[in-house]
Amino acid sequence: MKKVNNIAVLTSGGDAPGMNAAVRAVVRTGIYHQMNVYGVMYGYRGMVKNEILPMESKSVANIIQRGGTILKTARCMEFYEPEGRQKAYENLKKHNIDGLIVIGGDGSFKGAQKFSQEYDIPCIGLPGTIDKDIAGTDFTIGFDTAVNTAIDAIDKIRDTADAHDRLFIIEVMGRDAGYIALHSGIATGAEHIMMPEHKAEVEDIIADLQANERRKKLVNLIVVAEGHETGANEVAKMIKHRLPNADTRVCILGHIQRGGTPTCQDRILASRMGYAAVNALIEGTYNVMVGIVNNKIHYTPLDHAVKAKEEMDTDWVKMCKILAS
């Protein structure tokens, strides 16, 4: 097994709160093991364009509590092509980099997998995405913060909904996965949750709202994941058509869910994962994603670290409805 001496870390794809804590953990664990550590700016774009900077312990001071990513992030079309990856390899070689840590989503892992097959540079992935939809890990960096941001916003919406006896349809992030909707919906006592994995019929929701109207339940919150086949505005239109007396409003939470100071859970998760990533390179566990399963570090081969296609536990949806009734 070849010893890894010079490592690079980058953040790629969509940003997620806690990425900075992961960068900090990688840099400081690498330095502890006498490695030279480099930061690549703007994800794979920085590899292709040679935006690669040496990192010291103080480069990552005062960032554990900050959202966003000090290394910036981007999507890079050139990295999809063999020529782009070759440029990236040549730039890494200029710095003698012999190990790469990629913090991002499943797309970023696909790029890392291709790169590690073509070139003799071991890659380690860390799941950084607010959606919690990567196979091989129970949690992803950023999910807990995003859910708490959504909860905070929905609690505020509930106050105004209650003051005006309004029905609110709240759209949260989650293009392919409804975990933010499921968790924030349960935690805020929403009446209904609509997610890509669990088709909710608007007709059933309308029947339920009619029953609530009859028993004078005046506040109703419906949380919709952005990836649900019927979008929040469309749901509102259908409800307004069938329940003209309901004072119905839509609120799309949007990008606030990506920002903000990471929660304790995300900071600890990111720290453990960053530490484990460097240890994996030292131990010779190459081309894997570091995950957490049953609260233990778990390695998944990069080519299996794809978008999770798990069955949603529909009992959670049933529970949510019972508890909100």
Q: Which positions lie near ligand ATP, rule CB under 6 A?
A: 12-14, 44, 75-76, 79-80, 104-108, 110-111, 114, 129
CB atoms within 10 A of CB 15: 24
Whether 165 is catalytic is: no
Burial of 243 (0-12, 13-18, 19+ CB in 10 A): middle
Whichever of 80 and 316 has its CB closer to ligand ATP, that residue is 80
- Was 105 annotated as part of a binding site? yes
Q: Distance between alpha carbon 226 and the CA centroid of its chain, in Å?
A: 14
Q: Residue 321 CB, nearest distance to ligand ATP (Å)? A: 30
Q: Are 130 and 260 in contact (CB under 8 A)?
A: no
Strand pairing report for 248-252 and 167-172 = parallel
- 11 bridge partner residues: 103
- Was 249 annotated as part of a binding site? yes
In this structure, which amino acid lies at residue 164?
Answer: H
Q: Residue 43 CB, nearest distance to ligand ATP (Å)? A: 6
Nearest to 146 by CA among 259, 268, 271: 259
Q: Residue 100 CB, nearest distance to ligand ATP (Å)? A: 13
Whichever of 106 and 266 has its CB closer to ligand ATP, that residue is 106
Whichever of 104 and 178 has its CB closer to ligand ATP, that residue is 104
- Was 66 annotated as part of a binding site? no
Separation CA 17–CA 141 (nearest Å): 7
Separation CA 324–CA 16 (nearest Å): 30
Q: Residue 313 CB, nearest distance to ligand ATP (Å)? A: 22
Q: Are 39 and 8 in contact (CB under 8 A)?
A: yes
Q: Residue 208 CB, nearest distance to ligand ATP (Å)? A: 33
Whichever of 167 and 277 has its CB closer to ligand ATP, that residue is 277
Q: Are 142 and 130 in contact (CB under 8 A)?
A: yes
- Was 227 annotated as part of a binding site? no
Separation CA 131–CA 167 (nearest Å): 26
- Was 305 annotated as part of a binding site? no
Q: Which two tokens stand for residue 201?
A: 């019929």
- Was 313 annotated as part of a binding site? no
Whichever of 33 and 114 has its CB closer to ligand ATP, that residue is 114
Q: Is 25 left (phi over 0), alpha (psi -120 to 50) or beta?
A: alpha
Active-site option among 131, 144, 208, 266: 131
- Was 26 annotated as part of a binding site? yes
The CB-nearest residue to ligand ATP is 107
Q: Are 2 and 96 in contact (CB under 8 A)?
A: no
Binding positions for substrate are: 129-131, 166, 173-175, 226, 249, 255-258
Binding positions are: 14, 24-28, 75-76, 105-108, 129-131, 158, 166, 173-175, 189-191, 215, 217-219, 226, 249, 255-258
Binding positions for ATP are: 14, 75-76, 105-108
Active site residues: 131
Binding positions for Mg(2+) are: 106
